[in-house]
């Protein structure tokens, strides 16, 4: 999962250094833009929504405090950076600290940002998976699965991985099963493969043929890859996480 980051600061030298550090030292982060004030930042956000904002407080036109007011009810994580202690106090006085995950006082070591970014990324991954599972359940309710079986757990995890990284469908034995096995602490990825295959075969046996043909028009016996592909397509078509 790649987090989109917007840097908002009018100190050009600082911004260039920060941008270079993020690009070279922090994985799973894409800097989508740089704004020198709050007005420019809002313009960026009309087209692309960042997951994380790195925000200075002292800026011309629209400063950080005023921007925080406008972002108060938005689902955006904010890392605050500033050397202005008086403005720091204002974020609490004016009650605009809701989205702030971390505060740094300039100057500071960029290395500290690396840990914060990784923490925020992991939090997002967990939250997104929790939101995704009920939606996967609804898609799987079309079929006659035994939800109490271990196969259902393996299936859910495979669908989550495919949803996050569709390329894993290209070679499920190499890209998908080892990843799920590691996540679930299963020693042999082949255990995932064969348990899942038997689970899907059992589902086909007990599910109405019309439902199978509706979802798989060209076969009554979809492969594991075909089934994962179909569920992934349905989630992307009908759900908006």
Whether 117 contacts 52, CB under 8 Å: yes
On whether residue 51 sits in a domain, the answer given is yes
- How many structural domains does the chain have? 2
127 pLDDT higher than 60: no
Do 54 and 90 share a domain, yes or no?
A: yes
Report the SS3 class of residue 45.
helix
Alpha-helical runs (H) found in 56-188: 64-70, 85-93, 111-140, 150-164, 177-183
Instruction: Decide: residue 87, CB within 10 A, 0-12 exposed, 13-18 middle, 19+ buried.
Output: middle
pLDDT for res 120? 63
Domain-located, residue 136: no
Give the least confident one: 20-34, 112-126, 143-157: 112-126
Q: Which residues form the domain of 45?
A: 3-120
For residues 146 and 56, state if they share a domain: no
241 pLDDT tier (thresholds 50, 70, 90) = very low
More confidently predicted of 135 and 127: 135
- pLDDT at residue 37 greater than cutoff 70: yes
Residue in the block written with tokens 């500071």: 108
Phi-psi domain of 53 (left: phi exceeds 0; alpha: psi -120 through 50; beta: other): beta
- Asked if residue 153 and residue 105 are part of one domain, the reply reads no
pLDDT band per the 50, 70, 90 thresholds, residue 1: low
Mean pLDDT across the chain = 81
Q: Does residue 186 lie within any of the structural domains? A: yes
Q: Are 120 and 3 in contact (CB under 8 A)?
A: yes
Q: Does 25 share its domain with 88?
A: yes
> Of 60, 86, 120, which residue is a domain's last?
120
The reply to whether 175 and 225 lie within a common domain is yes
Confidence of residue 196 (pLDDT cuts 50, 70, 90): very high
Which of 120, 151, 166 is where one domain is finished? 120
Give me the pLDDT at residue 98, please: 67
Q: What is the pLDDT of residue 111?
A: 74
CA distance 52 to 180: 28
Residue 181 has pLDDT above 80, yes or no: yes
Find the CATH number of the domain harbouring 220: 1.10.10.10
For residues 28 and 36, what is the distance between their CA atoms, to the nearest angstrom? 24
pLDDT of residue 225: 92
My answer on whether 162 and 114 are in the same domain is: no
Identify whether residues 7 and 111 lie together within a single domain: yes
Which of 86, 120, 154 terminates a domain? The answer is: 120
- Residue 129's pLDDT is 63
Same domain, 150 and 116: no
**Is the pLDDT reported for residue 121 higher than 70?**
no
Query: Do the domain assignments include residue 137?
Result: no
Q: Does 132 map to a domain? A: no
């Amino acid at each position: 999962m790649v987090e989109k980051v917007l840097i908002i600061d009018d100190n050009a030298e600082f911004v260039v250094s920060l941008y270079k550090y993020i690009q070279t030292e922090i994985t799973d982060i894409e800097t989508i833009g740089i704004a020198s004030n709050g007005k420019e930042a809002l313009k960026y956000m009309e087209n692309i929504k960042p997951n994380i904002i790195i925000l200075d407080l002292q800026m011309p036109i629209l400063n950080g405090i005023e921007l925080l007011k406008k972002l108060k009810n938005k689902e955006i994580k904010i890392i605050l950076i500033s050397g202005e202690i008086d403005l720091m106090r204002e974020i609490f006085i004016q009650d605009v600290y809701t989205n702030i995950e971390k505060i740094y006082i300039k100057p500071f070591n960029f290395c500290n940002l690396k840990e914060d970014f990784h923490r925020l990324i992991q939090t997002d991954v967990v939250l997104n998976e929790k939101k995704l599972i009920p939606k996967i359940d609804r898609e799987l309710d079309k079929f006659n699965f035994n939800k109490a079986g271990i196969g259902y757990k393996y299936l859910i995890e495979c669908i989550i991985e495919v949803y996050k990284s569709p390329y894993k469908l290209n070679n499920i034995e190499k890209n998908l099963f080892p990843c799920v096995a590691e996540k679930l602490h299963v020693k042999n990825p082949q255990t995932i493969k064969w348990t899942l295959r038997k689970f899907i075969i059992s589902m086909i046996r007990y599910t109405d043929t019309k439902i199978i043909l509706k979802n798989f028009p060209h076969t009554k016996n979809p492969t594991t890859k075909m089934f994962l592909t179909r569920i992934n397509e349905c989630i992307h078509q009908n759900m908006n996480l």
